[in-house]
Amino acid sequence: MPDAVTTMSHNWAFAVFLLGVFGLIAFMLGLSSLLGSKAWGRSKNDPFESGMLPVGSARLRLSAKFYLVAMLFVIFDVEALFLFAWAVSVRESGWAGLIEATVFIAILLAGLVYLWRIGALDWAPEGRRNRQAKLKQ
């Protein structure tokens, strides 16, 4: 029976916590809507960044290479975190951990070589690369 009493007290404590959170959210939103500025105007709706007025459109067309490199960075960065975690527990993992980390690094290296071979890491367009290759000869 004591388990039911403690469970019920934990549930009530959580319910009071949630009620407090939602009450605080409602209070902050209500107060900001009451005290906030209601003035509208053409210059009020313009974006303002570091004292510079906007010039041109915000719709810039970027190459897909930027997104590709960002995704590759995130992937390899997360994998570096896995290797850091392995390095922290290297003594506990023993030889099995060393073999697993070696296989993991080999897979990473194979993926990097594959990306390099298909040209995913080349920034220059093919025309410029061909001109540079001709200049080197």
Give the mean pLDDT of 103-116: 89
* SS3 annotation, the chain: CHHHHHHHHHHHHHHHHHHHHHHHHHHHHHHHHHHCCCCCCCCCCCCCECCECCCCCCCCCCCHHHHHHHHHHHHHHHHHHHHHHHHHCHHHHHHHHHHHHHHHHHHHHHHHHHHHHHCCCCCCCHHHHHHHHHHHC
Q: Which domains does the chain have, with CATH numbers?
A: 62-122 (1.20.58.1610)
pLDDT reading at 136 higher than 90: no
Confidence of residue 28 (pLDDT cuts 50, 70, 90): very high
CA distance 92 to 96: 10
Please say whether the beta carbons of 46 and 54 come within 8 A. Answer: yes
pTM: 0.47
pLDDT in tens, 45-93: 777 777 777 777 777 777 777 888 888 888 888 888 888 888 898 889 8
pLDDT reading at 125 higher than 80: no
pLDDT reading at 118 higher than 80: yes
CA distance 75 to 63: 19
